[in-house]
Amino acid sequence: MNPTNLNTANYWDQVYRQEWESGSVLGGNYHRDYGPIHEAVIGLIPDGSRVLDVACGAGLLCRKIKQSLPNTRVVGVDFAEYTIRQNQERDRELGVDYRCVDIRNCLSSVEGPFDVITMCEILEHLEEPQAVVADAFRLLRKDGRFILTCPHDDAIPDPEHIRCWGHDELFHLLAPYGQTISLMHFPPPYFHIWMLAYLNKAGSESAEQPPE
């Protein structure tokens, strides 16, 4: 990993530990609660689906999915061990399956297939996003839905963000996997300029993974 990249397991373990211990995660005004973006994601998920949330963080989206769509089976993975333990305790009765997985190199260890895979607010943190997205699509069934959200271009300068994403970059990232890529925008004043992209995985073998 690039030594200037802040996005290590230890770094995020400390970030989430501080957020949990300060009470912000459960405080009702958590800054990672992306309101209408989460609502849009949930609106793209059929109830009864098996869902994988890649880089689930404090589990807010996983929890919202299960509460809104009670027949879903939700798996959330993240490499920050502390928040995974906290998520497991908080959502035990909901039945969300949280696992400590380093998505940068171990995502393939999760057993698929899934009907829906979400990657929200993680793409901008990855040094090798193409590899992680490829691993995610290998876990997605044919015709399954892939949903990705991220800030638009440099709308949020942040030392944690190592790459900017615009429409063209997202299109080229996702084009090998499906025939139609849909984009949604979430402009201010509620939030920063944000994008959501979604597609259904192509059903033909010829449209499977790009070459390594």
Q: Would 203 be classed as within a structural domain?
A: yes
Write down the pLDDT at residue 3.
61
Alpha-carbon span 151 to 122, nearest angstrom: 10
pTM for the model: 0.91
Phi and psi at 156, nearest 5°, equal -130, 85
Alpha-carbon span 26 to 19, nearest angstrom: 9
Q: Are 175 and 147 in contact (CB under 8 A)?
A: no
Write down the pLDDT at residue 157.
62
Banded pLDDT at 125 (limits 50, 70, 90): confident
More confident residue, 159 or 168: 168
Mean pLDDT of the chain: 89
Going by their DSSP bridges, the two strands 182-186 and 194-200 should be labelled as antiparallel
What whole-number percentage of the chain has pLDDT above 70?
Answer: 90
Domain count, the chain: 1
Q: Would 98 be classed as within a structural domain?
A: yes
Domain containing residue 168: 37-207
35's CB contacts (< 8 A; 6+ apart) are: 190, 191
How many CB atoms neighbour CB 99 within 10 A? 15
The secondary structure of residue 121, as a DSSP letter, is S
Q: Would 100 be classed as within a structural domain?
A: yes
pLDDT digit string, tens, across residues 68-118: 999 999 999 999 999 999 999 999 999 999 999 999 999 999 999 999 999
Q: Would 78 be classed as within a structural domain?
A: yes
Identify the CATH number of the domain in which residue 107 sits: 3.40.50.150
